Structure 1
């Protein structure tokens, strides 16, 4: 039996908070591996370790017959969006502090709010649009347009990678809401794992020997294109944990966006900002600079305002419905 979406914001918020915790742990593990392995190799092994759990979740939710779909192209598009979002995000993570990458990525909930209008037909009023504008101003501050490349320490192209990742992520999540009408969260997780495996194998066929990494000065490109190598010692355990954790993250995100309005859920993803600051300090001894703190505050404030407006509107609609039932 196919799943269906319902309006369960409490459960959706719980799922998205669990996903943010899992994502922050993923980021720490991948950043710790980025100095020795190719990004597409890490993604491949993560998917191989995770797909078994994904199939188990499908079996629990109704059986492997659920993997049949009438919308293969939409699922393929969603999978590719996830792959591009991951690749661009982790390429930036290899060279930028964890909190900075996470903060720049958090233009995603603002994109989701905007995309929910044309894609999902949801209404976003002028006050929420104003809040989104404030959030984008925060992103501009974090980009530090007044600073030169020498001050930033990295190319501006690298600093734009998390924003590109955020845009792909936003498209993916509004598609999740649309596909969730007829597709279980576990099934969508399997499709994503399969896409990661196929794309990673394609990368290996073209660049697995590392020839395109030779002579590259960009650490992000080296991370993306270096040669595959056999993992050593405890790295196997990290990769296995990464695969299992990523599966649970994908499942929780799919459930969250199936169960509630996209504009309602998106602000709760900001919990990952504080987690990123905490893990960056604990594991990598880094803390954000003033522009990142300022931009982060603007984005978080705009997201909380969007959420507050959504709750007020929901109560107003509920009150109207109760009145007309009398």
Structure 2
């Protein structure tokens, strides 16, 4: 029988489902970003998501599962996902969805690096080299040879910063997931979102600071709350439903397989983001974005293939745990 943390096939299935849902989530948030503050969208999304994740906790074993011996680690993990979301969606409000997603997809490379000190996973020089190539792709998308860009380079760095926070989150998930159910991990995330969103509402919910900023990304964080009506209310309900299942799927994926195994499958979201950007927002990546994408994706796939090769048994030896 396979160990809970040694089920790579199921982990990959969960990560693919979660990433597809995230791509739809990102597209819908970009649709709403012109009229609502991010913390309002997050509050509604987390409220609906919390109901779903609590239902999953009940199905997986009951409320006693919510007890934890590591509350500080759960709080730290929750803060990482909040920071990852804030920095990423602040960028999505300004730059094309495909470009933001491509920059964010250095996250698996960050995860590969962080898995060395935090998870004790062995990463050889070839995979380290692939990580370097991936970050060269980020540099190309920053276009340092240009004196001026249509978008601030700080805004272009936001998805990369988000990827770093997200990588820390998933490494923490791997540690917590050995003893904590995926539904419980998702509940703690939704609660953190609600607490942070409520804090933003107390400080900036009336829009008192929005006129003091020129950046569209900061304006998305500081706009006043507006009661959603009609289609917008439905979109927020869909966002909450997606959030509930995304949190569970990602937590389950990183509980069931090694980080370096499941992380590269997050690249499924990149072509989807480009598709949504083209269909919904009329965005099409330029040459530097395509070049950066190729290096980042190529690096991630190389890391994945090396990991799979490392896990494969030598010829003539028995396979362990049914791996292929």
TM-score bucket of the superposed structures, by smaller chain? over 0.9
How high is the TM-score relative to the length of structure 2?
0.96
Partners of 1:174 and 1:281 in 2: how far apart? 33
1:182 alignment partner, SS class: coil
Counterpart of 1:23 in structure 2 is 22
Tell whether 2:211 aligns with 1:208: no
Aligned residues: CA RMSD: 1.4
How high is the TM-score relative to the length of structure 1?
0.95
Partners of 1:42 and 1:72 in 2: how far apart? 26
Find 1:268's aligned residue among 242, 262, 265.
265
Find 1:219's aligned residue among 216, 220, 239.
216
Q: 1:204 and 1:266, CA in 2 relative to 1: closer, same or farther beyond 3 A? A: same
Counterpart of 1:314 in structure 2 is 311
Tell whether 2:272 aligns with 1:279: no
Tell whether 2:177 aligns with 1:174: no
Following superposition, the deviation at residue 322 of structure 1 comes to: 5.4
Task: Judge conservation of contact 2:90–2:217 (CA < 8 Å) in 1.
Answer: yes
Matches within 5 A, 1:88-127: 88-127=87-126
Partners of 1:303 and 1:134 in 2: how far apart? 9
Counterpart of 2:35 in structure 1 is 36
Find 2:191's aligned residue among 194, 200, 207.
194
Task: Judge conservation of contact 2:313–2:319 (CA < 8 Å) in 1.
Answer: no
Following superposition, the deviation at residue 116 of structure 1 comes to: 0.3
Following superposition, the deviation at residue 43 of structure 1 comes to: 0.4
Task: Judge conservation of contact 2:103–2:159 (CA < 8 Å) in 1.
Answer: yes
Q: Point out 4+ residue stretches in structure 1 off by more than 2 angstroms.
A: 316-323
Partners of 1:313 and 1:319 in 2: how far apart? 16
The aligned length equals 318
Which deviates further from its counterpart, 92-101 or 296-305?
A: 296-305
Partners of 1:286 and 1:107 in 2: how far apart? 21
Following superposition, the deviation at residue 10 of structure 1 comes to: 0.8
Task: Judge conservation of contact 1:5–1:180 (CA < 8 Å) in 2.
Answer: no
Partners of 1:60 and 1:240 in 2: how far apart? 22
